[in-house]
Amino acid sequence: MINFNYETDFNLDNEEELATWITGVISSEGYKLEEINYVFCDDDYLHKLNVEFLNHDTLTDIISFDYTVGKLIQGDIFISVERVADNAKDFNVEFNKELQRVIVHGVLHYCGYKDKSETEEVLMREKEDFYINQLD
């Protein structure tokens, strides 16, 4: 089950389509969906979580808490729509494309992909692009 929650004045207009897409990503990676809770929020909300739980006093676009057990995906993904909008402008991409990237990024972490090294980051970006292109 995928749940979409809103802690700001933002709402997805295609929840069902995104839930089907996310479930397909998880299945394609050889995992099974248990439950993911997406929480869309603003910079202040996400900054507080970043400080409290990760000791990072910085703004970020996404924080994911992974409760996956074996191949059963579970977690909470917090996304700052303000950060996504700013990043979309910085990267000169549409807001919805950047939002899709962040949405799938959290899921790919749950599927075991990392992005700490340059090599890992390249693979993560390739996977993001591959799955985003499936939505077109």
Domain holding 76: CATH number? 3.40.390.30
- Please tell me the predicted confidence (pLDDT) of residue 47: 94
pLDDT of residue 50: 87
Q: Give binding residues as ranges.
A: 105, 109, 115
Which ranges in the chain belong to alpha helices (H)?
15-28, 43-54, 81-91, 95-110, 118-135
Predicted pLDDT at 122: 95
Task: Give the pLDDT of residue 52.
Answer: 85
**Inter-residue contact 75 to 62 (CB < 8 Å):** no
Kindly state the tokens that stand for 63.
């924080």
Enclosing H/E stretch for 11 = none
Taking the chain (136 residues) in runs of 10, the rounded mean pLDDT of each run is 96 95 97 97 94 87 94 97 96 96 96 92 95 90
Place of tokens 């962040």: 102
CB atoms within 10 A of CB 46: 24
The answer to whether 51 and 12 are in contact (CB under 8 A) is no
In this structure, how many other beta carbons lie within 10 angstroms of the beta carbon of residue 130?
Answer: 12
What pLDDT was estimated at residue 58?
A: 85
Supply the range of the domain harboring residue 65.
2-135
Q: Is the pTM of this model over 0.85?
A: yes
Q: pLDDT at position 29, please?
A: 96
Provide the β-strand partners of residue 2.
36
pLDDT score, position 59: 86
- Domain tally for the chain? 1
Q: Which residues are annotated as part of the binding site for Zn(2+)?
A: 105, 109, 115
